[in-house]
């Protein structure tokens, strides 16, 4: 039985090591070293292209990342289960990134950076964490973990999702009406939604206008969820005070894009978090076990819903 990996080859070598240690009975191959196509039962990929169509005995496609929007589902036979990556390494990185961004916003570091450039020594009023309202879009594994950490600082935490969730100490909102209600009480909006037809362009003027004036955005979902012209307008008018963007559309962001030079925008090159080979192999091995036992795999996506 072969597990075929088609993604970053440097990390692939780490996957191979871990597979050899933990499951020596499985042949782990890194694309383009396919071996016998007929032996490939599992494909782990970032962008498989049409590879899945050429493997006659393929049983499951695993995304190497938390998102599956980069997979072209029309190139994956309809009967094959598709699984996204749920592993603790991605969660830890994301919690770190978002926590840092929220604290930087909360402690006015964007304003202080500008003051430093102007050599201005000007203390700003402190705001207690309990008075800072955080709103997270997307309550999957990542959104939930981020909220659980932010709660520890005492922030007033809320989260929104398509369906109703229940997280201790977090005001949970759901559905279309719930979205407006959460936005109205959100000073720092964090986007951790998957990219689907329903979320493409979601971060637009309509959403910004529903936030209290001077709110901030932390965007760690997908670039195509943000209408960047609307963000630039909102920054210009003061409706949005600052933004931390780890994802853009396109990536990389063109060098002449106006977002680069916005004084209160911080851009990072899609590094908020990444799959960690060690814990990812453990997660995949557990899913192989579940699959072989005929049980439901962790992170199995609903192909019609897109996540």
Structure tokens at 15: 């996957």
Residue with CB nearest ligand GLV? 65
- Interaction between residue 194 and ligand GLV (CB under 6 A): no
Structure tokens at 89: 């390494």
Least Å distance between CB 160 and ligand GLV? 20
The CB density around residue 174, as the number of other CB atoms within 10 Å, is 17
3-state secondary structure of 264: coil
Residues 75-94 that bind ligand GLV (CB under 6 A): 90
Task: Give the pair of three-digit tokens for residue 18.
Answer: 């871990």
State yes or no: residue 299 binds ligand GLV (CB under 6 A): no
**Catalytic residue IDs:** 222, 270
Q: Are 143 and 160 in contact (CB under 8 A)?
A: no
Give whichever of 90 and 202 is closer to ligand GLV, judged by the CB atom.
90
Q: How far apart are CA 164 and CA 176, in angstroms?
A: 12
Which three-class secondary structure state does DSSP give residue 42?
strand
Cβ burial, residue 78 (10 Å; 0-12/13-18/19+):
exposed
- Interface pattern 136-165 for ligand GLV (x via CB under 6 A): ------------------------------
Rounded Cα gap, residues 144 and 173, in angstroms: 13
| DSSP single-letter state for residue 149 | H
Residues 262-291 that bind ligand GLV (CB under 6 A): 275
Stretch that binds ligand GLV, among 63-71, 113-121, 150-158, 225-233 (CB under 6 A): 63-71
Q: Binding residue for ligand GLV (CB under 6 A) from 7, 16, 44, 66?
A: 66
> Is position 67 an interface residue for ligand GLV (rule: CB under 6 A)?
yes
**Which range, of 59-67, 96-104, 157-165, 261-269, touches ligand GLV by CB under 6 A?**
59-67
The residues of the shown chain that bind ligand GLV, judged by CB under 6 A, are 65-67, 90, 275
């Amino acid at each position: 039985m072969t597990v075929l990996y088609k993604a970053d080859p440097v990390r692939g070598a780490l996957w191979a090591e871990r597979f050899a240690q933990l499951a020596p009975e499985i042949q782990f191959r890194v694309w383009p070293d396919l071996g016998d196509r007929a032996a490939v039962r599992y494909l782990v990929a970032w962008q498989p292209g049409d590879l899945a169509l050429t493997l006659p005995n393929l049983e499951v496609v695993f995304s190497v990342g938390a998102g599956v929007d980069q997979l072209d589902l029309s190139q994956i036979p309809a009967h094959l289960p598709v699984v996204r990556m749920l592993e603790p390494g991605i969660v830890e990185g994301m919690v770190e990134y978002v926590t840092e961004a929220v604290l930087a916003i909360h402690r006015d570091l964007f304003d202080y950076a500008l003051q430093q450039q102007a050599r201005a020594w000007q203390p700003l009023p402190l705001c207690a964490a309990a008075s800072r309202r955080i709103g997270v879009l997307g309550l999957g594994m990542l959104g939930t973990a981020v909220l659980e950490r932010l709660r520890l600082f005492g922030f007033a935490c809320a989260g929104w999702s398509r369906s109703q969730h229940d997280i201790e100490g977090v005001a949970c909102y759901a559905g279309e009406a719930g979205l407006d209600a959460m936005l109205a009480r959100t000073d720092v909006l964090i986007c951790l939604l998957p990219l689907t037809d329903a979320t493409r362009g979601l971060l637009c003027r309509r959403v910004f206008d529903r936030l209290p004036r001077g709110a901030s955005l932390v965007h760690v979902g997908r670039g195509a969820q943000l209408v960047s012209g609307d963000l630039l307008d909102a920054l210009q008018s003061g409706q949005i005070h600052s933004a931390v963007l780890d994802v853009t559309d396109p990536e990389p962001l063109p060098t002449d894009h106006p977002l680069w030079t916005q004084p209160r925008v911080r851009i990072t090159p899609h590094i908020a978090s990444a799959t960690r080979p060690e814990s990812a192999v453990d997660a995949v091995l557990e899913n192989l076990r579940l699959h072989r036992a005929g049980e439901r795999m962790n992170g199995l996506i609903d192909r019609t819903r897109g996540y």
